[in-house]
Structure formats: structure tokens, C-alpha cells
Amino acid sequence: MALVTTAEVCDANPQLIMSGELRALQPTFQIYGRRQVFSGPIVTLKVFEDNVLVREFLEEKGNGRVLVVDGGASLRCAILGGNPVVQAQNNGWAGIVVNGCIRDVDEINGCDIGVRALASHPMKANKKGMGEKHVPINIAGTRICDGEWLYADTDGILISRTELSV
């Protein structure tokens, strides 16, 4: 999404919005990381106060993908910290969206990757390895499926069933 904003995408595609092919997440996410604009195919993960699977995904090559984590909107601990974000940056992930909390904000803000999360929290997550990979998730009023596309900028986050030609 080089020079086209999410607002312009919405304005130019009312038919995709009406059909549900293009959806906007409710504006509940804070912006972290140096990359404020990012996009890519989505990989979904559902966990609750456990970050083992989050770390495992980010150890893989990202190839421009975006990890979208449904953390159950928990505000009791962070499921993403600085070390995995550095690893994600180095492994070529475009971004990470967390329906939950992060920590190590200063370190994350120094990384050239896009990160969105509900808030920051100093407590670390459990390490039990519980969760579900590549499953449909519901966050911020929107159902998101593995393989859909995410577009994020400072105006918000869009989900599209297919890659948009912008």
C-alpha cells in the first residue's frame, strides 16, 4: 500500500465494504514499532495469556506476512515482548496485530516492523504452549481468516478476503 491510505481504500471500494469482502477493525489498537504502514497476507493464532505459539510463529520466515493473534483481549499480561519482535523483524514479518497486551515497548518501538496491540503490560505470559494455529478468529468486531489480507496505517486496520490492487 505504497501511497494509498486505508481511508482512500474504503472510499474507493464501497461495494467491497457492503459485501463484507473488505472490513475495518474497530479502533481499539495502539500503534507500536517504526513501521506505521504495513500490509500482507494473514496468519492467525488464538491463545490466552500464553506466548509459546506466538514465539514459535515469529521464529519462522515471515515472507511479508502479518501475524494476527487473538489473545482474548486479556489485559492481565503481555503475550508479546521485545525479543520475539526483533526476531520477527529479522525474519521478514511485515507486522503483528495482538488482541491483547505487549511489553518492552521501547525496544519494540525501535524495530522496523508494524505492531498493533490493545495496551502494554509489564507482566509476562504463561509458557504452556496452549492455543490454536490457522483458525478463524474474531477480534475488534471482525471475523478474520488465515490467508486473508491485512492493511494497516495510522487511520486504522482493514481486512480483505483477497489482495487489493491499489
pLDDT single digits (tens) 40-62: 999 999 999 999 999 999 999 99
102 — pLDDT class (breaks 50, 70, 90): very high
Residue 1 in this model has a pLDDT that exceeds 60: no
pLDDT of residue 68: 98
Cell numbers placing 80: 508479546
- The domains located in the chain, with CATH, are 4-158 (3.50.30.40)
Residue with cell 494509498: 4
pLDDT of residue 165: 75
pLDDT of residue 118: 98
Cβ-based neighbour number of residue 109 at 10 Å: 14
Residue 86 in this model has a pLDDT that exceeds 50: yes
Let me know the angle formed at the C-alpha of 19 by 16 and 21, rounded to the nearest 5 degrees. Answer: 55
Cell numbers placing 158: 482493514
pLDDT of residue 65: 98
- Over residues 64-79, mean pLDDT: 98
> Binding site for substrate, residues?
81-84, 103
| Distance of alpha carbon 114 from alpha carbon 19, whole angstroms | 28
HEC string of the chain equals: CCCCCHHHHHHHCHHHHHHCCEEECCCCCEEECCCCCEEEEEEEEECCCECHHHHHHHHCCCCCCEEEEECCCCCCCEEECHHHHHHHHHCCCCEEEEEEEECCHHHHHCCCCEEEEEEECCCECECCCCCEECCCEEECCEEECCCCEEEEECCEEEEECCCCCC
4 — pLDDT class (breaks 50, 70, 90): confident
> Binding site, residues?
81-84, 103-104
> Binding site for Mg(2+), residues?
104
The average confidence (pLDDT) of the chain is 96
| pTM of the predicted protein model | 0.96
Let me know the angle formed at the C-alpha of 140 by 137 and 143, rounded to the nearest 5 degrees. Answer: 35
Of 69, 17, 25, the residue nearest 48 (C-alpha): 69
